[in-house]
Structure formats: C-alpha cells, structure tokens
Structure 1
C-alpha cells in the first residue's frame, strides 16, 4: 500500500473520530442534561471528559499532522484555497473546543457535588451548560465545514 493511501486513511479516520466523538458527546451530554438528575449528569460528564481526552485529543493532534503530510505528498500548497480555509476553520474549531474541555470537567464536578449533597444542579452548572452548547455550535460547525472541504476540494481562489 502506498504512503499516500496510508496517510489518507489515517486522515479520514481522524476526521471520522472527530465527527463521531463530537456528535456522541453532544448527544449524551444533552440527554443527560435534560434529565436534570445530578448523579446521572455527573456520570455522563465523567465519561465525556475521558472520551474527549482519549479520542478527540488524539484526533486533534493527528489531523494536522496527516493533513500536512498529505499536502506534502501530493505537491499541493497550504495556501491553496480549500486547504487554507480548512486550516482556518480547524483553528476556529480548536478555539471553541479548548474551553469546552474545561467546561465539561467543571460541569462534571458541579454535578458530582450536587449529587453528593442530593441537591439539584446549581445555577452555575446551567450557565456553563448554555456556554458549552453555545461554543459547540460554531466549534462543531467548523469541523463539519472542514470535512466538506476535505471531500469537495472546491476551487475557492487563485
């Protein structure tokens, strides 16, 4: 198998992990949140934090590495329109993902504290959930747009 096919397979796998883990995390956090059950939210958020550390973080590192190696392997340029836009969107996604990692951990801790005290989820948790959700829209949207650019490779400029 050629080096190009190995790199492409790794790059596509990384994209699938980013999309799949992002979708799964969003779904499970939203479903847990809707129950308003502090213990359930705490357990779900704890799993989400681990999944983000194992899967998302690994893919976040692998994507630019395999992407750069693919650019080099194919003789393309990082300034080619769709590639440059993909890199910009990737940075946008990262700027929204980094606070989300902290927010998820904080939500987990707040929910666990509420569960230990057998109380409701505190107002701080609800504020963080709204911020988490708000950051998720442009963050995940950027990942989706980057995936489309990777597949379509449109001619955008020069």
Structure 2
C-alpha cells in the first residue's frame, strides 16, 4: 500500500513499519513468525487541507481486502491483518464512520480492527519503497501493481 499512497496528492511522507505487538524494535524476520504480535503497517504524514483522513481510509478500503482475517492475498498470518491505528478520538470517530460506510460495499463482513496507536517501529531500509526497487518481483508485479492501477483509475483526481 505504500506505493499507492506515494502517488496521492496531499500525502507528504509514506513509511513502512510495524506496530501493535509486544516486542520492542522487531525485525521483519521476527514479525514473520507471527510471534511478536505486530502488524505490517504504512505510516502516513498528510496535509488534511488537501486530503482528509476520511479519504485516506476510503483509499485503504479500496486497495486491500478488509474481509479476510489475518490474510492479504497469499500472505497469511497475524502480521497481515487489516487494522487501523488511530491517533485521536476524532480519528477513531472518522474510522468508525468509514467502517460503517464500507460495510455496504463488501459482500462479506469486514474484519478490520480498530485500535489506538501503539509504539511504531520503522521497517528496515530494504522495505522502504519496496515496489519501486523491485517492480518485477512476483508480489510487486502480480499483487501490488494491480492495486496501484486500481487506485489510479478510481482516484485519478487524487494523483500528484
């Protein structure tokens, strides 16, 4: 999802990382075991005068499947859960509103978790801008590229 948000107007910074677990400063290898409790996440800095938190979340629900528990495509494990970590009561309110709106869009129940922000750890440098660095890698070409194209088609008005 990092690749999608990098293209969105109003998004100033995108970073891959981990949050929601019990182990301080986890590595990718540690979180892949499922034993740390962390989720792979994207941390965004955005200008709310250009793109709202609501719109950020709407894009989130458009480019991933929020109906599969602990799974995104072929990636399976708690680290792949669908989750929104909010920073404030206002963000929680908006997230609950978007969750309710999206319930009518999907054919299956949404399993996306909603939780207060937890300690966040930046992913290793080789995970930053991963799709840009590895566009022909199978996951990037077969899974991420179609999501980026879907974003571009549905949100052309949001492109930088």
TM-score normalised over the length of structure 2: 0.29
Which of the pair is proportionally richer in strand?
A: 2
Which of the pair is proportionally richer in helix?
A: 1
Structure label with greater radius of gyration: 1
